[in-house]
Chain A
């Protein structure tokens, strides 16, 4: 009876039904119902997501999903963002492009995060995919504007070129002129990361002028304020706009030009940029503020009063990124004006200063958590915190899904009681039952990990630094957090026992990063031998780990599950622990 159901629809009908299922998770579930659904689903999957480029090989992905049009790949571990992963570790996209070039000529979208993307890779993309439409490089490096020129020149149907947070070599703006005069399909352009001062405004203006579908334009710091008006006038349909350097001599003609240009942009919902901002020019954007849902002022060195004035014009904000110049008073104002706020990020203006340079404390966060009922995602840098405040915050906002708190000085205690902040963070995980991501800081003992292991059942990503007393802390997390996918730890006294006792858990996760902890080389070897489906990478720039005693702790450890064994592109300072030592020689040989 049951079996009959599966065969009662022709494949095309099922395919059509599946086409409404976009999310990866759902697609994966669909493919597990039965063999025939697996087969039908794999031919019609159009979007593939690979969370760790070393977990699987390009050939395997193409073999299973021969018709995909869009791929998203992630490379380096998250801590690479903070320079903890040495240059040359890996994450090269070229092998993927090379495999896809032959097999998937109709590929349209490539989205990469924390990968090394060379000009060669970009040139190969341009050459191989005739209908290429979307290139999103997020926190990538290794390319220059030469590679971008190849994309511009060749990809006639390009819609999106987004280089958010990348470190590319900007050799000048000539690459923009490589977009042919006949090219008009650009919808989204984000070049905010490019650094060159050699700007070609005419090329930019002409490009913007002829691409009438342009919705997103994020410029870089090199574009001066007096050029913005012209650009905006060419693209009044923009929905998202990032300025360049927001400074100019105070001249009424520049001001009125600018204000007029902003007024003509009736669709604008998101603003960013604002480097070097001069407060006198801020009112130019007031005409669009009431419609703004997203505002990125994280480069704007404005004082609290100017920030409050600006924010008071934006009652519909859902997302705000800002420097701690906003201070507690500004956050209190924000809490009363922006009732729709969902995401807040407050960055430190003076991260390496010894003394606080602004009056931003835990009070600001308490105010926002109290006044903004929809707030679910927070990234907050501050210099003091108390358990009392954290408990209040937790009770105010049980709907938090992302809570990342960075108390700037490591191991800072509750400033009121001088106790660890265990209870405070414990409240966060206890009350916020849907918490998916958590970053800890301050003085913390194993107790906080007990709370986390007990309550944080939906937690997927956890970041720990300078915390805990010993292995028990790590054991609580690994044994208790059922949904954990990514765990990253630095400078904690976690050693071998918890890791080895929870070895199987590691296969249920995407990855584990541990640096400056207490895991010995011997334990790494043991783990590598015991778990063939994990790559246990020891990263150590001091030299080969076997030149030191086995009990010596490794510098950095990156463990991830994989279907394809040790990778072949490891640099000299990375060793994969494996079963067969002779296999290790083979991997090294492939490098040369």
Chain B
């Protein structure tokens, strides 16, 4: 094997420093050592106290390494009164993958549509009762309990979450056809 590849870039230690916070958050950290740690280290420097302490028992993604179906099974079997989530499939024309979302997590249409826009990285346009979604090639639609495809937003939110079976972001002319309201 040849010797090390010459790696020019200035090692921006701050950028490569590890921390467990969310990406994008920026805190003043002083330790040059890139060690991830908590206070269980024997030679604890007093400097460590100045670091922004991790929030108490913040759950780390994927740790401990247990499958989700194991986590669910420690709870008693969910009955209707427990109010489990309302999970539905969300698909977008042209995207090769499906998402599953929990409608209970959202308090209304604006929140839901924002989340959907973020998931598939596109813009949904402005909603109006008469004209459907303007300003975009896409329209969010859903299949209701009767198997009909409706435009998202036409019925009150409460009715929507109980009748929605699945969501589909339609593209193009099919979408425009639905824009004429129910």
Which of A's residues lie within 8 Å of B, judged by CB? 79, 81-84, 87-88, 92, 116, 118, 142, 165, 167, 169, 193, 221, 245, 275-276, 298-299, 301, 347-352, 354, 381, 406, 408-413, 418-419, 439, 443, 463, 465-466, 469-470, 490-493, 495-497, 500-504, 516-518, 520, 522-523, 526, 530, 542, 549-553, 555, 569, 571-572, 591-592
Contacts and interface: CB of A to CB of B under 8 A. Distances in A.
Interface string B75-89: 011000000000001
Interface in B40-84: 40-42, 57, 59-71, 73-74, 76-77
B66 A493 contact: no
Contacts of A352: 57, 59
Contact of A553 (B15, B60, B94, B98): B15
A298 B70 contact: yes
A576 B36 CA distance: 28
Given A87-B100, A500-B7, A520-B9, 7 more contacts: A92-B96, A348-B66, A352-B59, A518-B18, A520-B15, A520-B16, A571-B95
Contacts of A470: 34
Given A443-B40, A495-B16, A551-B16, A299 B73 contact: yes
Contacts of A501: 1, 4-5
B99 to A, nearest CB: 6
A550 B40 contact: no
Nearest to A468: B35
Nearest to B118: A541
A301 B66 CA distance: 17
A551 B74 CA distance: 43
A116 B97 CA distance: 9
B23 interface: yes
Contacts of A350: 74
Contacts of B70: 298-299, 347
Interface string B115-157: 0000001000000000000000000000000000000000000
Contacts of B65: 81-82, 406, 439, 463, 465
A542 B118 CA distance: 11
Query: Can you list the 10 inter-chain pairs with the closest CB atoms, starting with the nearest?
Result: A82-B62, A88-B97, A493-B34, A518-B16, A418-B42, A551-B12, A500-B5, A84-B62, A82-B65, A299-B73
A165 B89 contact: no
B55 to A, nearest CB: 13
For chain B, which range describes its interface: under 10, 10 to 19, 20 to 34, or 35 or more residues? 35 or more
A493 B42 contact: no
Contacts of B16: 495, 518, 520, 551, 553
B158 interface: no
A351 B66 contact: yes
Nearest to A479: B1
Contacts of A492: 18, 36
Contacts of A406: 64-65
Contacts of A500: 4-5, 7
Nearest to A551: B12
Contacts, number: 152
B38 interface: yes
Contacts of B38: 409-411
B57 to A, nearest CB: 6
B62 A413 contact: no
Nearest to B89: A169
A83 B70 CA distance: 13
Most buried by A among B11, B95, B96: B96
B68 A245 contact: no
A523 B36 CA distance: 22
A432 to B, nearest CB: 21
A276 B7 contact: no
B36 A87 contact: no
A298 to B, nearest CB: 7
B24 interface: yes
A523 B11 CA distance: 11
B37 interface: yes
A82 B42 CA distance: 30
Contacts of A490: 62
A193 B59 CA distance: 26
Given A83-B68, A169-B89, A517 B18 contact: yes
A492 B42 CA distance: 19
A245 B42 CA distance: 47
Contacts of A411: 36-38, 40-41
B20 interface: yes
B10 interface: yes
Contacts of A555: 23
Contacts of B12: 549, 551-552
B7 A497 contact: yes
Interface string B1-34: 1001101011110011110100110000000011
A385 to B, nearest CB: 12
A298 B73 CA distance: 9
Contacts of B64: 348, 351, 381, 406, 408
Nearest to B70: A347
